[in-house]
Amino acid sequence: RTQSTFLTTHLASWGFVVAATGTETGIFMDHQQFARDTRSFLHWVDHESDLPGSWLKSMAWDGDWSAVGHSMGGGALGLLVGIEPRVRTIIGLQSAQVSGPWLQSMQAFTGRAFHVAGSSDWIVPPAMVFLGFDAAQSADRNVYFLVEGMGHLGCLDNPGSLDPLPAAEQS
């Protein structure tokens, strides 16, 4: 079970195959390892979808992939697009950015990038999220959203109760 059960359940209710990793948890995660774990997991789901008798039989498709990440998981998206060409859409929810290879991957990304920031997020302030938007200028579509009053946990199951935007409206 991940922190973003609400988001994954909601996306699955629309018919999407949703897979959430449970690696690299905690405050000192390795963004590069998280990107590699995510790539491996995406390939595993794709492979399992092709196997006769698999519960995933024919659920994944052969087209482009999308990836969503929150906080450090959102920061790992920039590294993921540098190592997995099938990921053509990324949605970073209050993405904690990293430097070096992350910046190069984001600058080279030509897919679709969506960046969501919360105006009341003191963990990953809007200015940090904007770095991802600014770096992804080569993207086919590059959009930055600022949700007024949303804190860092606004897109998860249990948003902060002290944020200006009521918790029921954040999630």
pLDDT value at residue 2: 46
Which residues lie closer than 8 Å to 138 by C-beta, 6 or more apart?
A: 107, 108, 109, 110
* Cβ burial 52-82 (10 Å sphere, 16+ → b, else e): eeeebeeebeeeebbbbbbbbbbbbbbbbbb
* DSSP summary character for residue 63: S
141-147 and 87-93 strand pairing:
unpaired
pLDDT value at residue 1: 40
pLDDT value at residue 166: 76
Contact 148, 165 (CB under 8 A): yes
pLDDT value at residue 51: 79
Per-residue model confidence as pLDDT tens digits over 43-57: 888 888 887 887 777
Q: In what order do the strands lie in the sheet with 87-93?
A: 65-70, 87-93, 112-118, 141-147
In three-state secondary structure terms, 155 is coil
**Residue 147: beta bridge partners?**
118
d(CA 149, CA 166): 8
Give the residues of the chain that fall short of pLDDT 50: 1-3
pLDDT value at residue 6: 67
Helix, strand, coil fractions of the chain, as percent rounded to 5? 35, 15, 45
